[in-house]
Amino acid sequence: MTRLASFLIIGLLIFGCGTLSAAETNLLNVSYDPTRELYQDFNEAFTKHWQAKTGQEFSIRQSHGGSGKQARSVIDGIEADVVTLALAYDIDAISQRGLIAKDWQTRLPDNSAPYTSTIVFLVRKGNPKGIKDWDDLIKPDIKVETPNPKTSGGARWNYLAAWGYALRQPGGNETSARDFVAALYRNVPVLDSGARGSTITFVQRGIGDVLVSWENEAFLALNELGPDKLDIVAPSVSIVAEPSVAVVDSVVDRRGTRAVAEAYLQYLYSPEGQEIAAKHYYRPRLPEVKANYADRFPAIALFTVDEVFGGWAKAQITHFAEGGVFDSIYAGPQ
Amino acid sequence: MSSANIVLSVPQRPRIVSTGAALRWTLIAVALGVIGLLIAMPLASVFAEAFRQGADAYFGALGDPMAIAAMKLTLIVAAIAVPLNLVFGVVGAWAIAKFEFRGKSFLIALIDLPFSVSPVVSGLVFVLLFGMQGWFGPFLIEHGVQIIFAVPGLVLATIFVTFPFVARELIPLMQQQGTQEEEAAVALGASGWQIFRRVTLPNIKWALLYGVLLCNARAMGEFGAVSVVSGHIRGATNTIPLHVEILYNEYNFVAAFAVASLLALLALLTLAAKAVLDWRLSVSPKPGERKT
Amino acid sequence: MSAVYSGWIPFKPKPSVIPGFGLTFGLTVTWLSLIVLIPLAALFARAASLGPDEFIAATASPRVLAALRLSFVTSIIAALVSTVLGGFIAWVLVRHPFPGRRFVDAIIDVPFALPTAVAGIALTTLYAETGWLGGLLAQIGIKAAFTPLGILIALVFIGLPFVVRTVQPVIEDLDHETEEAAACLGASRWQTLRRIVFPTIAPALVTGFTLAFARGVGEYGSVIFIAGNLPMVSEIAPLLIVIKLEEFAYAQATAIAVVMLCASFAFLLAINILQRRMAASRVSGR
């Protein structure tokens, strides 16, 4: 048994070394689904910036997928120099395994979230069902598209936004919020595993009257899939979605890429980086860039996870963990 | 069992059992209908979507550097996984078909096992072995070796998934053929390798080739298992099926289906190859081949 | 070297003059161990890190049970449908040649090679209400995509080639003469089919059924697109494994995987033994 195992390892060692040799002059950014277009542009800009500054030749590789799945890849050993994920909880999960320092969220400004987004509605052109706010989503004749919060980071923001809205209604409390969210999920005919899958089900398959979505995804879908087919509706209240970024300490220290990895994330906060983020419909942090794009982003009363839910760790355990509120919504009789 | 080995050359004579033309064509129509709805239409829709914006868009999508990188990677993975499964499929089939031993059912069931393992789990087991939280992961990372999220992981997952294909194709045939020819060869003083090369191989070569073709088709088309171990690094660890998923998720449907159509074409080529094999078989029946 | 076979020694071969048992058997077991058994041992080990109570909690919750039931029931039904349709298609392909038969024969294997995700996307495109077939079905009040029926369609798509490819060679080898003899003796077509043809191809049908089932029960890629994925309704067990993984709950994910694996292995083994019995009784009955 041990001999077999050592045989296997030696064989694979020989095999593995070959694939690794060329990997020193690049950076791997492990990110979530909706940021593909953003980071394609941003990587190009940063590569130029870095080469002008240091003269170093290097390239940036990208990996995209569901936020939780990507976090798991990092935990399982993918050589990510930086992670740019959908929510702080996923980076916390990596940090718990000791790959990222515990204080990661304070190492960069704005909770390590260089840009933000929020949750809005995408409806059919002309808004035939007259959907204006969260209340309309629980009406019996409305079909709502949203992904599964168990597998999609974006879907968790959707869920928390709905919960926060219900809580802030007159007389709102935990029970009424739970009932509201349960009613909303009763209107969901398909639970896709990711935000992109949900968008495709809504737009291409014609399922549902309203898609609950990231603001940036809603704009992208509108532009890519049909300005003539879709409209965006901004609810009265929503959540500040803060996609977080962090340097993966254990990887950059092993590979000696800390300087460039840190510069990469810092550059997201620069006017150039903020401009690119805004161009891709992420809400920028920098006031002067914000001002340039003011007409692009509708004014919505926004609340944060910390204000309403006491932080991601708590929200995760209460709502999305095994046996949490989300499970209980589906565990009851249908 | 071995009566099938006798080559009969019965002259053509009128069939006693025949089917009326109406019934015959009804049967054919129903069969075609089923195939049409279940297989041909999904296949057609892949090509329809791929050519939605014309041939330029189609070939543009195939010429994209990321698509080419994915094709290269897929070829590399298949080039390693398929020969290994070929060798061990033949070896396994020999042990099972030419000998009687207790626990044979158990061994066959073990060989079949990867069929019934969910693709998700097929990938997961290698993460459990070589991931940083797994058995060998910390050791490997320390020594700078990347198995999962790199080519070796893709190869391992592919071998796992296509493990039963060659053996599965060979075992029933070799069992049916029995052991008499090999025993005769032994009596004539042939060595083991000679028996295999001169007696067994000619008998099984078409089934073997077919098994390899299927194994290859599956190796190139595998999605679930490689998705778990790939890490989805653009241009580095995306095989064709993974690249299709990425394009689809980028709302780039034409490109997604264009790249997917490559794999559909592969399936058709595989079967064209099989048709040629069948034809050669019927044109030049050699002694020992059972085919009328 | 005399008869020691009577003892219950596993893997001990019956004496044979053909060489190479030691070598081939040894290589087979080694390769099987490296590629299949050791990785699966890792799966079991991780699941075993849960205590018995936790293991039961992870695998016997109503939602997990519903998903397991859905996976097993749909894949058994789909395998049955595939067996009937596949057997029929194989029969027509062999016995009733028609123009273009080669081409039709060729596309049977498409589901093998098409990546499952592509199959899922293509099937969903077709069977959603906006698709070619989904629109027609919707008119007669049937919703296919995003319901358990959609899962069934995907699984039949995946399983059909396994049945056709296992049954086809057996039908090709069928003796016309036996059928003709039966006809001469006054058997009706139906009797010939039932008494002569069916018993001969039955083992192949069983194999095809087994393969289609085995492949279907763990299927992921083609199903998630078309399933709808609602907990308790259309959520398959492999999706639940993925969900557990996304929660970083490896042990629980592996626990569900282990349950699935043991169930399907028991099923495969039972069918394999049944089949050998069938074969043995047929041979001795002659």
Q: Which residue has the higher pLDDT, C58 or A301?
A: A301
Tens-digit pLDDT profile for residues A34-58: 898 899 999 999 999 998 988 888 8
Mark yes or no for CB contact B232/A64 under 8 Å. Answer: yes
Q: SS3 for A198-231, per residue? A: HHHHHHCCCCCCEEEEEHHHHHHHHHHHCCCCEE
Q: What's the mean pLDDT when you consider all of chain B?
A: 83
Q: How confident is the model at residue C15 (pLDDT cuts 50, 70, 90)?
A: confident
Residue C13 is predicted with a pLDDT of 73
Q: Which residue has the higher pLDDT, C109 or A54?
A: A54
B146 touching A (Cβ < 8 Å) = yes
Q: Measure CB to CB from residue C248 to each of A72, A197, A207 and give the nearest one.
A: A72
In C, which residues are within 8 Å of B32 by CB distance?
Answer: 104
Residue A280 is predicted with a pLDDT of 94
C286 touching B (Cβ < 8 Å) = no
| ipTM confidence | 0.81
Contact C150, B74 (CB under 8 A): no
Tens-digit pLDDT profile for residues C184-228: 887 777 887 888 788 888 888 988 898 899 889 888 888 888 887
Least confident of B63-67, B89-93, B115-119, B149-153: B115-119
Q: Cβ contacts of residue A43 below 8 Å, gap of 6+? A: A29, A60, A62
Least confident of A121-125, C84-88, C89-93, C202-206: C202-206
Contact A157, A305 (CB under 8 A): no
Q: What does chain C look like in DSSP terms, one character per residue?
A: ----TTS--TTPBPP-SS--HHHHHHHHHHHHIIIIIHHHHHHHHHHHTS-HHHHHHHHSSHHHHHHHHHHHHHHHHHHHHHHHHHHHHHHHHHHS--TTHHHHHHHTTHHHHS-HHHHHHHHHHHHSTTSHHHHHHHHTT---TTSHHHHHHHHHHHHHHHHHHHHHHHHHH--HHHHHHHHHTT--HHHIIIIIIHHHHHHHHHHHHHHHHHHHHT--HHHHHHH---TTTT--HHHHHHHHHHTT-HHHHHHHHHHHHHHHHHHHHHHHHHHHHHHHHHHHH-
Q: How far is the CA of A246 from the CAs of A30, A87, A106, A180, C267, in angstroms?
A: 10, 11, 10, 35, 48
Instruction: Provide the 3-class DSSP secondary structure of residue A48.
Output: helix
Residue B9 is predicted with a pLDDT of 44
pTM of the model: 0.84
Mark yes or no for CB contact B92/C28 under 8 Å. Answer: yes
Contacting chains of B (3 CB pairs or more, <8 Å) are: A, C
**C-alpha–C-alpha distance, residues A37 and B32, integer Å:** 44
Q: Measure CB to CB from residue C35 to each of B102, B106, B160 and give the nearest one.
A: B160
Which of C9, C110, C205 should be substituted to probe chain B, the one whose Cβ sees the most B Cβ atoms within 10 Å? Answer: C110
Domain spans in chain C, listed from the N-terminal domain onward: 14-48, 51-285
Burial of A18 (0-12, 13-18, 19+ CB in 10 A): exposed
Residue C282 is predicted with a pLDDT of 62
pLDDT at C3 over 70: no
**C-alpha–C-alpha distance, residues C117 and C123, integer Å:** 10
Q: Which of C232, C238, C61 is nearest to C148 (CA)?
A: C232
Residue B10 is predicted with a pLDDT of 45
Tens-digit pLDDT profile for residues B54-64: 899 999 999 99
In which residue ranges of chain A is pLDDT below 70? 1-24, 332-334
Q: Put residue B54 in one of left, alpha, beta given phi > 0 → left and psi -120 to 50 → alpha.
A: left
Q: What's the mean pLDDT when you consider all of chain C?
A: 84
C51-285 homologous superfamily: MetI-like (1.10.3720.10)
DSSP letter (8 states) at residue A86 = S
Instruction: Provide the 3-class DSSP secondary structure of residue A24.
Output: coil
Q: How confident is the model at residue B278 (pLDDT cuts 50, 70, 90)?
A: low
Provide the CB-side half-sphere exposure for A159 (13 A, CA). Answer: 29
Residue B283 is predicted with a pLDDT of 61
Tens-digit pLDDT profile for residues B78-106: 999 999 999 999 999 999 988 888 888 88
Q: How confident is the model at residue C284 (pLDDT cuts 50, 70, 90)?
A: low
Q: What are phi and psi of A119, to 5 degrees?
A: -105, 125
Residue C87 is predicted with a pLDDT of 93
Which of A63, A76, A217, A252 should be substituted to probe chain B, the one whose Cβ sees the most B Cβ atoms within 10 Å? Answer: A76
In C, which residues are within 8 Å of A151 by CB distance?
Answer: 242-243, 246
Distance between A173 CA and the closest CA of chain C, angstroms? 26
Contacts 24+ apart (CB under 8 A), B67-71: B67/B243, B67/B255, B67/B259, B69/B235, B69/B236, B69/B238, B70/B238, B70/B239, B70/B240, B70/B242, B70/B243, B70/B259, B71/B240, B71/B262
**C-alpha–C-alpha distance, residues C115 and A327, integer Å:** 32
Q: Which residue has the higher pLDDT, A298 or B172?
A: A298
CA dihedral angle for residue B281, residue B285, residue B286, residue B290, rounded to 10 degrees:
80
Which of C36, C75, C261 should be substituted to probe chain B, the one whose Cβ sees the most B Cβ atoms within 10 Å? Answer: C36
**C-alpha–C-alpha distance, residues B228 and C253, integer Å:** 14
pLDDT at B290 over 70: no
**C-alpha–C-alpha distance, residues A306 and A318, integer Å:** 14
Q: What is the mean pLDDT of residues B234-263?
A: 88
Burial of A131 (0-12, 13-18, 19+ CB in 10 A): buried
In A, which residues are within 8 Å of C33 by CB distance?
Answer: 4
Q: Which H or E run includes A197?
A: helix A195-203
